[in-house]
Amino acid sequence: MSNSYQKSSGKQALRKPIAVVRETETPREAAIGKVVSPAYTKGEGTLDPSLFIIVSGGEVRERDYFNFFKNRRRSFPRIVVEFIDKNQRGVGGLGVAQLVEVALQVKQQKEESKSDDVLDSISIVTDLDHFYPEIIANLPVCKANNVELIISNPCFEIWLYYSYYRERPDFVVPEDESKISSRFKKYLGDKHKGGVDPRKAPFSIAGAIENSAANYLLDERGIPILFSTQMHLLASKLYELTKEGIEKERQAVEQRREKYMRGK
């Protein structure tokens, strides 16, 4: 069975998540190789924080994962996370082509309103699942518009898996390829004690980046093979802006746990 599997027939299911990332970087930041303090000002005003726009078709785990960075503004003062889960017509559950369309719309809107100091990095986060032909068809559009396509094979849960495990999964691939994603999600829930909580997985982002990169293999068309994900490429950008805040949040969680244990 091919690692970059696809369905040869049948109606395409409506697609799920997309993450569009806009990362602020001034020429000064690029020159010194780091993000400057939020207190740094240029000209007439203060630089905008980095903006991560998550355009989602409704997948709970992807949303919960990125919400970690959205709901902690004190820890991540240079990060703003916004969600878009429908297109302009109010329709959700988007196919890959529709996700690309939405990403390009967001990119155009941001380019029209941004200052000259802002450099945009746009990424679409998608499961491979059975969308291989649709992804291949849209790759040229993404490349032509400088939009990065972040693919997980078979699904986003492989990224959550690498948040806790170094080795490739010992998952038994079912003969029916259409069941790989659903079976893998169950496998992950059974393998990790208590299940994997995407709201806590960002605490393991550094290890996930390393583990994902170590198991990163592409097929001849540049698509991740089974049990590979490109999420480490996006997560590396995010981590550079949030690693101090993540440690701050980790310490806060530990303090709350210790306080709770003392009160028992």
What would the mean pLDDT of 144-171 be, rounded to a whole number? Answer: 93
Instruction: Say yes or no to pLDDT of 45 above 60.
Output: no
Q: How far is CA 91 from the centre of its chain?
A: 21
Segment 108-121 mean pLDDT:
66
- What's the farthest any 2 CA atoms get from each other in the chain? 62
- Give the pLDDT confidence score for residue 120 in this predicted structure: 56
**Bigger pLDDT: 44 vs 247:** 247
**pLDDT for res 15:** 37
Q: Which is more confident, 246 or 60? A: 246
Averaged confidence pLDDT in the chain:
76
Mean pLDDT over 182-208 rounds to 93
Helix axes 205-214, 231-263, angle to 10 degrees: 140
Compute the Cα dihedral for 216, 145, 13, 55 and give only its sign: positive
How far apart are alpha carbons 126 and 149 in whole angstroms? Answer: 8
What percentage of residues in the chain have a pLDDT greater than 70?
70
Length of the chain: 264
Long-range contacts of 64-73 (CB under 8 A, 24+ apart): 64/197, 64/198, 64/199, 65/156, 65/160, 65/198, 65/199, 65/201, 65/202, 66/19, 67/199, 68/198, 68/199, 68/201, 68/202, 69/202, 69/238, 69/242, 72/245, 72/249
Please determine, for residue 123, whether its predicted confidence score (pLDDT) is greater than 70: yes
- Distance from C-alpha of 105 to C-alpha of 147, rounded to nearest angstrom: 12
Token pair belonging to 224: 């991740």
pTM: 0.77
Least confident of 10-14, 54-58, 145-149: 10-14
For residue 69, what pLDDT is reported?
Answer: 86
Reply yes or no on whether the pLDDT at 224 is more than 90: yes
Give burial (CB, 10 Å; 0-12/13-18/19+) of 246. buried
Residue 229 reports pLDDT greater than 50? yes
What's residue 87's pLDDT? 66
Q: How far is CA 250 from CA 68, 200, 201, 245, 256, in A?
A: 12, 10, 11, 9, 10
pLDDT in tens, 159-189: 999 999 999 999 999 999 999 999 999 999 9
- Amino acid making up residue 121: S
**How many alpha carbons lie under 13 Å from residue 2 in its C-beta half-sphere?**
14
**Mean pLDDT of the 83-97 span:** 69
pLDDT at 44: 40
Q: Is the pLDDT of residue 14 over 90?
A: no
Tell me the per-residue pLDDT of 55-88, one tens digit each, with 9 for 90 and over.
Answer: 665 567 888 898 888 877 778 877 777 666 666 6
Say which residue, 259 or 241, is predicted with more confidence. 241
